[in-house]
Structure 1
Amino acid sequence: MWSTEPLTNGTNDVCKKLGIPIIGYSPLGRGFLTGAIKSKADIKEGNILNHFDRFKDDETIKANYHVVELVNEYAKMKNASNAQIALAWIRKHNDYPDKYAKFIPIPSSSNPKRNHENNTAVELSDAEFDDINEKLSKLKIVGYRYSKDAENFLNV
């Protein structure tokens, strides 16, 4: 939900045309969309996130937290977890095969409780999906997914 470039940079269109699914790697934003990371202090020393632009400092984390707040809003409304809402949003794209390629989110966790949560589907209505998309389109995301240099390899 905070890396929507495949929807606008031509990736979706080409994958849809060729029947290639889009794999949602780290669909929970490396835990960010769950609300687990509110500040730099929430990232342990040695964690790879310390090398990614979107986690570089408290200012950047705070600047992007509006995405988490949107997910929180829907999680409360649907009596679901943030993870379930983020995953539901990705899966909802599959309800529109004329507009989107097939999307397959691949959340991961070594925690059995989180795996169960991630695999307990929550459904979004068409109106909820449209509302989330409209709100996401108005949010500015600060920082590269990885770093400026690594970003060049993401869209090859």
Structure 2
Amino acid sequence: MFVSDPLHNGTNEICRKNGIPIIGYSPLGRGFLTGNIKSKADIDKGSILNWFGRFKDDETIKANFAVVELVTEYAKAKGVTNSQIALAWVRKHNQFPEKYARILPIPSSSNPKRNHENNTIVELTDIEFDAINEKLSKMKFVGTRYGEQDEQFLNV
């Protein structure tokens, strides 16, 4: 949800036509979509997130927070976690093979509770999926996905 470029930059179409799955790396937006990162103070000093443009300062985090609010809205309505909504959104694409390549989300955690949470399937209705996509299409995210020097290697 925080990075949906592959759905719109031609990657999805090529992968769909050729039966190649897309690996949904960091489908929780490096933890951002969980709602646990509200300011720079929520990021450990030694975290790699400090190198990424989308986490560079409080203003950038605040500018991007609308996506977290969107996820939180649906999580509260369904009585599930933000992580489960974000992963449900990724998985929902797989119900439309005529439009999307298969997407395999790979959330990571060394915490058994989080692994269980991330692997508990939550379903979005078609209406919920469409509404989320409509709202996401209007969001513009601030900051680079990685460090500025690394951005040149994305979308090549």
Residue of structure 2 equivalent to 1:121: 121
Could you state the TM-score of these two structures normalised by the residue count of structure 1? Answer: 0.98
Displacement of 1:148 in angstroms is 2.8
The amino acid across from 2:126 in the alignment is D
Confirm whether residue 153 of structure 1 aligns to residue 153 of structure 2.
Answer: yes
Q: Distance in 2 between matches of 1:61 and 1:8?
A: 24
Displacement of 1:46 in angstroms is 1.3
Alignment of 1:6-45 (within 5 A): 6-45=6-45
Could you state the TM-score of these two structures normalised by the residue count of structure 2? Answer: 0.98
Displacement of 1:139 in angstroms is 0.9
Q: 1:28-80 CA deviation, whole Å, 9 max, x = no partner?
A: 01100000100000011111100000000000000000000000000001111
Confirm whether residue 98 of structure 1 aligns to residue 104 of structure 2.
Answer: no
Displacement of 1:2 in angstroms is 1.0
Q: 1:66-104 CA deviation, whole Å, 9 max, x = no partner?
A: 000000000001111000000000000000000000000
Alignment of 1:129-140 (within 5 A): 129-140=129-140
Structure 1 runs (4+) greater than 6 angstroms displaced:
none
Q: Distance in 2 between matches of 1:62 and 1:44?
A: 18
Secondary structure of the residue aligned to 1:139 is: coil
Displacement of 1:150 in angstroms is 1.0
Secondary structure of the residue aligned to 1:24 is: strand
Q: Distance in 2 between matches of 1:95 and 1:125?
A: 11
Q: 1:112-137 CA deviation, whole Å, 9 max, x = no partner?
A: 10000000010000000000000000
**Consecutive unaligned residues in structure 1, runs of 5 or more:** none
Residue of structure 2 equivalent to 1:88: 88
The amino acid across from 1:27 in the alignment is P
Secondary structure of the residue aligned to 1:32 is: helix
The amino acid across from 2:23 in the alignment is I
Secondary structure of the residue aligned to 1:104 is: strand
Residue of structure 1 equivalent to 2:60: 60
Q: Distance in 2 between matches of 1:2 and 1:138?
A: 12
Across the two proteins, how many residue pairs are aligned to each other? 156
The amino acid across from 1:152 in the alignment is Q
Secondary structure of the residue aligned to 1:16 is: helix
The amino acid across from 1:140 in the alignment is K
Secondary structure of the residue aligned to 1:149 is: coil
Aligned CA RMSD, in angstroms, stands at: 0.7
Displacement of 1:149 in angstroms is 2.4
